[in-house]
Amino acid sequence: MGRRSRHPQAEGRRVKDKRQETRLVEAGRRAEWTQGLVNPAVWRASTILFDKVADLDAANPPKDGILHYGRNGTPTTWALCEALTEMEPGAAMTRLYPSGAAACAGALLAVLAAGDELLMVDTAYGPTRALCDGVLKRFGVTTIYYDPMIGAGIHALIGEKTRAVFLESPGTHTFEVQDMPAICAAAKARGLITLIDNTWATPLFFPAIAAGIDLSILACTKYIGGHADLMLGSVTATAAVAPRLEQTRRVMGQTGAPDDAWLALRGLRTLDLRLKRHQENGLKVAHWLKAQPQVARVLHPAFPDCPGHEYWVRDYKGATGLFSIVLAGGDEGARDRLVDSLQLFGIGYSWGGYESLALPADPVRTATRPAFEGPLIRFHIGLENPDDLIEDLAAAFAGYGGSG
Ligand SMILES: Cc1ncc(COP(=O)(O)O)c(C=O)c1O
């Protein structure tokens, strides 16, 4: 009755140009998907019922916003996809996958074909490497691993068969920050597609598409969900690459479960607050660790001695709560006992939840072999009071004998 709709996406109101915090609150909240609630319901579906065959025909080909078949989404998953797209200025589309690993695979399979060469960062997440060395190799794709610090020098690795460059910044376990503008410029000059695993920074701390990346991959399992209770991945694409991504996703049967998408969407609304606290707590604990005689180095993008720190300063809006330390000598057995003796840190895979974790880290490298003074531990610093975490670490370090 003339009353203005309170639904952010009604009446053509757009949130694209709003500030980041506002976009996080408003993105994806279309009236037709939320039905008057603040959040969309969990729409679970396989079959969608149509009144007539003509209606079923009209739903083809599948499009976001038109119910077709469960695998092609429901309002719950469309809302999350639209929200993730809104967080990446310049992006055209987001697609969901059942995990972050599936998202990495789905993105790579969308852009590669037999006979292609892929340039893969040497610090890639382990299962991404395994995908290259196993499945992609079996299907005729050759992977060339490159030094994360290669920068513009990547042009020397680009040959006739090179199709794509995969970045992960900062690197898994060792946190080197890549010179992404230089790598993207070299890739663009040769018509290559660029992909990034942007899980550490999220689009809040590094909007990858605006920086020239074609496909930005997130393990939503981590910070987007934020509560260690879901498995989900996403790929956000430019308009040029979106059709290939969607076509490959569809024929490979990839989809995101509505329950997990709902949790991820709820997590997304508080991402800004959580990331800032993870950053603050992480830095406090990392600085304490750096001062300990048992610690040779802290591998953290915000520390000046981190390789690529200058690129982090230039390109990133913040640091999240994941980093590693290098112990000053000692063997793996002593390192593992140190981790075992922590009380407030969980021992387990993944990260990005509200809780702190510690994990023995053993980097796998083939293109570059950095020398470390001792074994590595990767920490995820959660939302606890950092002084409690530091007390826990102090007690563990007091009992740390190094080797033996
Ligand atoms: C950087 C990075 N990318 C991708 C993944 C894979 O995500 P998921 O566990 O959801 O498969 C992980 C998981 O630890 C990760 O650390």
pLDDT tens digits for range 26-48: 999 999 999 999 999 999 999 99
Q: How far does Cα 283 stand from its chain's mean position?
A: 20
- Give residue 399's pLDDT: 84
Helix (H) or strand (E) holding 217: strand 215-219
Looking at per-residue pLDDT, the higher value among 396 and 399 belongs to 396
Distance CA 98, CA 66 (A): 21
Total length of the chain: 404
Q: Pocket residues for ligand 1 (CB within 6 Å)? A: 99-101, 125, 172, 197, 199, 219, 221, 231, 233, 350
pLDDT band per the 50, 70, 90 thresholds, residue 58:
very high
Residue 1, pLDDT above cutoff 80: no
Residue 13, pLDDT above cutoff 70: no
Average pLDDT in the 170-195 region? Answer: 98
Average pLDDT in the 201-218 region? Answer: 98
71 among known catalytic residues: yes
Residue 375, pLDDT above cutoff 60: yes
**Residue written as token pair 């002593």:** 334
Average pLDDT in the 365-384 region? Answer: 96
Task: Identify the active-site residue in 30, 97, 125, 146.
Answer: 125
- Give residue 14's pLDDT: 65
Distance CA 245, CA 198 (A): 17
- Give residue 402's pLDDT: 62
Average pLDDT in the 371-385 region? Answer: 97
Which residue has the CA at smallest separation from atom 7 of ligand 1?
100
Residue 196, pLDDT above cutoff 60: yes
369 among known catalytic residues: no
Closest atom of ligand 1 to CA, residue 220: 10
| 282-309 per-position pLDDT tens digit | 999 999 999 999 999 999 999 999 999 9
- Give residue 7's pLDDT: 56
188 among known catalytic residues: no
Which residue has the CA at smallest separation from atom 13 of ligand 1?
350
- By the 10 Å C-beta count (0-12 exposed, 13-18 middle, 19+ buried), 36 is classed as exposed
To test the pocket of ligand 1, the residue of 132, 323, 350, 359 to mutate (highest count of ligand atoms within 8 Å of its CB) is 350
**Edge-to-edge strand order for the sheet containing 233-237?**
93-97, 233-237, 215-219, 193-197, 162-168, 117-121, 142-146
Average pLDDT in the 183-199 region? Answer: 98
- Give residue 400's pLDDT: 82
311 among known catalytic residues: no
What average pLDDT is seen over the chain?
95
Distance CA 300, CA 116 (A): 34
Which residue has the CA at smallest separation from atom 15 of ligand 1?
125
Looking at per-residue pLDDT, the higher value among 7 and 241 belongs to 241
Residue 3, pLDDT above cutoff 60: no
Residue 108 φ/ψ, nearest 5 degrees: -65, -40
Q: Which of 126, 162, 382, 182 is nearest to 277 (CA)?
A: 382
The token pair at 75 is 């309002």
Q: Per DSSP, which regions of 293-364 are E strands?
A: 295-299, 322-327, 357-361
Average pLDDT in the 71-85 region? Answer: 98
Question: In this structure, which long-range contacts are made by residues 194-198, counting pairs with CB atoms below 8 Å and at least 24 apart in sequence?
Answer: 194/164, 194/165, 194/166, 194/167, 195/107, 195/108, 195/111, 195/164, 195/165, 195/166, 195/167, 196/166, 196/167, 196/168, 196/169, 197/100, 197/104, 197/124, 197/125, 197/128, 197/166, 197/167, 197/168, 198/169
Q: Does residue 170 have a cis bond before it (omega within 30 degrees)?
A: yes
Residue 15, pLDDT above cutoff 80: no
Contact between 290 and 303 (Cβ < 8 Å): yes
- Give residue 80's pLDDT: 98
Alpha helices in 174-239 (DSSP H): 180-189, 202-205
Please give the distance, rounded to the nearest whole angstrom, from the Cα atom of residue 154 to the centre of ligand 1. Answer: 25
Residue 365, pLDDT above cutoff 70: yes
Which residue has the CA at smallest separation from atom 14 of ligand 1?
350
Task: List, in order, residues 6 or more apart from 209 with CB less than 8 Å away.
Answer: 88, 89, 90, 91, 216, 236, 238
Torsion of Cα atoms, 195 then 198 then 203 then 206, to 10°: -90
**Edge-to-edge strand order for the sheet containing 322-327?**
295-299, 322-327, 376-380, 357-361
To test the pocket of ligand 1, the residue of 123, 222, 229 to mutate (highest count of ligand atoms within 8 Å of its CB) is 222
